[in-house]
């Protein structure tokens, strides 16, 4: 199979590209064009996959470029998106263009080219604060930020093509993915990178919300399982760890694993508007077990500790830590 991965230059996309290549798939990595000719995290991929995938530079917002990138591909794994929630507060139009219109470009090209499968990336943020837990795919959708609203729109656009045109599209809904290479805009990398840089006072946002953290290897394997299962067509499928933990407990656990005594301080800049904060996320992945035989390898508290340790081990290497601006709040 020839597989196009959009957003292959990003955190999850680079891990997924590596996993696909290791499993013997023919991969074309769609990365955002830039004049520096950088391929994002693919510039730092593991040695055994270097030179074993094709790269296409373009922009997901350009329909012609998307269709050109997709020619000759059997499957599209669509991860390209704008994901930072704080940035969506002051630049929401870019989220509509990238997340909704970009998704439309992908699925329209897939329909016209007769692609055999599209896996579209959703997010647990579309659920908003949990009305019941664990959260199943039947949970109501709540746009508590421009980002989550744009992803709801993208998800519905993708499903509409399955319902209207029978385009074989699956919607995969990962909960909070973490791991090596993640942006410091996210809670786990911002804690690790600050501690690794020698800071004693660690600046954080709200500490009471809970999240279901999914290690990036589990998320990547979920894409491959969804890609290979016909039962995922026209269906939304959650993937997560089945484990809920507060931001406070997460921060304390990281400090413990890094063997550092630190003080956590509230940074008002990192707080979401009150009604925009998602207070609780906790995944039910029963459907993923049933229809695509997926389970997290890093589930529960023990799995979370194992994934955190792998993430810490990567971040503390100077060549990796130096790529982060630990003194600056990253939105």
Q: Strand pairing partners for 31?
A: 57
Q: What is the pLDDT of residue 241?
A: 97
Domains of the chain: 2-177+214-242+284-299 (3.40.50.720), 187-208+244-279+303-321 (3.90.25.10)
Q: What is the pLDDT of residue 73?
A: 98
- 320 phi, psi to nearest 5 deg: -90, -45
- 144 phi, psi to nearest 5 deg: -90, 0
Is the confidence at residue 313, as pLDDT, over 90? yes
Q: What is the pLDDT of residues 87-113, one digit of tens each?
A: 999 999 999 999 999 999 999 999 999
Q: What is the pLDDT of residues 37-76, one digit of tens each?
A: 999 999 999 999 999 999 999 999 999 999 999 999 999 9
Percent of the chain at pLDDT above 70? 100
Tell which residue, 252, 272, 274, 253, has the closest CA to residue 264: 252
Q: What is the pLDDT of residue 267?
A: 87
**First CA to last CA across the chain, in angstroms?**
37
Tell which residue, 175, 70, 170, has the closest CA to residue 119: 170
Neighbours of 262 (CB within 10 A): 17
Q: Describe the strand order of the beta sheet including 169-174 as a list of residue ranges.
A: 54-58, 26-32, 2-6, 75-78, 117-121, 169-174, 236-239
Strand duo 236-239 + 169-174: pairing: parallel
Q: What is the pLDDT of residues 220-249, one digit of tens each?
A: 999 999 999 999 999 999 999 999 999 999
User: What three-state secondary structure class fits 141?
Assistant: coil
**How would you write 63-77 as a 3-class SS string?**
HHHHHHHHCCCCEEE
Q: What are the distances in angstroms from CA 194 to CA 84, 203, 204, 285, 324?
A: 19, 8, 10, 32, 10
| Distance in angstroms (rounded) separating the CA atoms of residues 177 and 181 | 11
Strand duo 201-204 + 176-178: pairing: unpaired
């Amino acid at each position: 199979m020839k597989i196009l991965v959009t957003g292959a230059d990003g955190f999850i996309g680079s891990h997924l590209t590596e996993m696909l290549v290791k499993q013997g798939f023919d991969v074309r990595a769609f990365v955002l064009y830039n004049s520096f000719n950088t391929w994002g995290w693919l510039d730092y991929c593991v040695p055994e996959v270097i030179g074993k995938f094709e790269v296409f530079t373009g922009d997901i917002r350009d329909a012609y470029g998307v269709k050109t990138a997709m020619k000759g591909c059997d499957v599209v794994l669509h991860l390209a998106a704008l994901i930072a929630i704080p940035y969506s507060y002051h630049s929401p139009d870019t989220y509509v263009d990238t997340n909704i219109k970009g998704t439309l470009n992908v699925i329209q090209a897939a329909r016209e080219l007769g692609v055999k499968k599209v896996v579209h990336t959703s997010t647990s943020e579309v659920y908003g604060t949990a009305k019941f837990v664990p959260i199943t795919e039947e949970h109501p959708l709540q746009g508590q930020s421009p980002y989550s609203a744009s992803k709801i729109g993208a998800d519905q656009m993708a499903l509409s093509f399955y319902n209207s045109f029978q385009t074989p599209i699956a919607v995969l809904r990962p909960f909070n993915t973490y791991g090596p290479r993640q942006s410091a805009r996210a809670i786990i990398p911002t804690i690790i990178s600050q501690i690794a840089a020698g800071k004693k006072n660690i600046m954080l946002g709200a500490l009471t919300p809970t999240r279901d953290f999914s290690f990036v290897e589990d998320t990547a394997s979920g894409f491959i399982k969804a890609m290979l299962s016909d039962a995922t067509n026209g269906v939304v499928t959650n993937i997560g760890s089945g484990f809920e933990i507060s931001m406070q407990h997460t921060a304390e656990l990281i400090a413990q694993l890094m063997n550092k005594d630190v003080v956590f301080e509230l940074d008002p800049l990192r707080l979401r508007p009150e009604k925009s904060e998602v207070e609780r996320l906790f995944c039910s992945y029963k459907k993923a077990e049933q229809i695509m035989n997926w389970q997290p390898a890093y589930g529960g508290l023990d799995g979370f500790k194992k994934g955190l340790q792998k993430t810490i081990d990567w971040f503390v290497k100077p060549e990796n830590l130096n790529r982060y601006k630990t003194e600056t709040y990253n939105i």
